[in-house]
Structure 1
Amino acid sequence: MARRNDHSPDELRRLALDAARRLVAEEGLRGLTVRRVAERIGYAPGTLYNLFANLDELVLRLNAETLDRMAEALAAAAACPPMERAAALVEAYFDRIEAEPFAWGVLFEHRLPAGTALPDWYGARLDRLIGIAVAALEPLMTAWPVLERRRAIVAMWAGLHGISTLAVGSKLALVGPGDPRALGRLLVSRVIAAGPP
């Protein structure tokens, strides 16, 4: 493919990420390659390597945008009255997962090479996401010592992820009957009320 100069680097990054998101929506992580993204935007693969160090960086940038969309959804849900907050957060979580199941799956399927640490900018995205949930739920977690609340919220997130993954993969019925959102609300409400073991 010939070299092109139709777009600025920022425009190219945006085009590449949009194309990558479409590929992921269609085929999941297995369909995402630098070559396929380049084909979708009409550029040579080498052009993408001028924008992203490798496929891993492209995936991390894609995942960062997915985390940002989840953070925005949770922040909007956290604005409701305190007694409705836990249920609103669960609903917002499931809404985002159902809107982009493959994109959310890429967050957990993608593996960096052994010994490669997550970049600081990516860790900041994760911290922001957890921080929104902590700020929203802390006022409801009076049974929990202050220093244990974040850990409890991480445990709730892991549980919600398990429920949503089973639901999106049509595997929840194998575990037992139940509406995934109702199970999510049950999990969150019980952890909030119970306090530490």
Structure 2
Amino acid sequence: MARRNDHAPDELRRLAREAAGAVAREEGLRGLTVRRVAERIGYTPGTLYNLFANLDDLIVHVNGDTLDRLDAALKAAGASLPAERRARLVDAYFDFVEADPLLWSLLFEHRLPAGAELPDWYKATLDRLIDNVVAALAPLMEAWPSPEARRMTVVALWAALHGISTLAVSRKLTLVAAVPPRALGHLLVERMIAAGPAPASPPPVTLS
């Protein structure tokens, strides 16, 4: 068993996050415990409780690392030529989800205890990811009336792509249609961006 001073606290936090991510890749949320993570890095569970408030805190940090990696993958795809950008972003997203489906599912399966909130740094990480995609797609969304409308569109696209990819990795998509998931993803993004923003609703008619 390694001694506590074998690693500096920041290094030990990193090792714990990586070990927790490895467990999640293999078994998903159900396999994650502080004891199993501690065993993987050769420390006692008590040592990890000195670094993370609890298992929930550790999982939130693992999910933050996952979002950072997704952000890097999408930024690389977003650096392509504007004409190729939609397709590259969709492929990068599906590549990421398909590479580690159980680790990806940890983002959505994990629930904080009642009354607990995600930390500000996590919310900032998520906002940065979305903002980077909005910036990448901005040249293709010049008709949108406002940055807020573009951002809402990206959030809606992400939610839809998440549904498609989740059905695909769980092998449930064929219950809906025998269509390749990426084909649906490309169709969704291309059609939604090509359609442009919804027209503003006309003011209600009042009878005097």
TM-score (norm 1): 0.96
| Aligned residue runs from structure 1 range 12-51, under 5 A | 12-51=12-51
Using the alignment, how far apart are the partners of 1:130 and 1:18 within structure 2?
24
Q: Does 1:129 align with 2:133?
A: no
Equivalent pairs: percent with the same residue? 69
For structure 2, the residue ranges without an aligned partner over 5 or more in a row are 199-208
> Per-residue displacement from partner, 1:148-168 (whole Å, max 9, x unpaired)?
111011000000000000111
Change (3 A) 1:91 1:39: same
1:185 counterpart residue number: 186
> Per-residue displacement from partner, 1:80-102 (whole Å, max 9, x unpaired)?
11111011100110111111111
> Per-residue displacement from partner, 1:105-164 (whole Å, max 9, x unpaired)?
000111111221111100011011101110011221234322311101100000000000
Alignment-mate amino acid for residue 106 of structure 1:
L
Alignment-mate amino acid for residue 107 of structure 1:
L
Using the alignment, how far apart are the partners of 1:16 and 1:148 within structure 2?
39
TM superposition shift of 1:196: 3.0
Change (3 A) 1:2 1:183: closer
2:153 counterpart residue number: 152
Alignment-mate amino acid for residue 174 of structure 1:
L
| Aligned residue runs from structure 1 range 80-99, under 5 A | 80-99=80-99
TM superposition shift of 1:2: 8.2
1:68 counterpart residue number: 68
**1:15/1:41 contact within 8 Å kept:** yes
What secondary structure sits across from 1:5 in the alignment? helix
2:204 counterpart residue number: none
Alignment-mate amino acid for residue 133 of structure 1:
V
For structure 1, the residue ranges without an aligned partner over 5 or more in a row are none
Using the alignment, how far apart are the partners of 2:81 and 2:155 within structure 1?
22
Using the alignment, how far apart are the partners of 1:3 and 1:77 within structure 2?
43
TM-score (norm 2): 0.91
Aligned length: 197
Alignment-mate amino acid for residue 12 of structure 1:
L
Using the alignment, how far apart are the partners of 1:42 and 1:195 within structure 2?
54
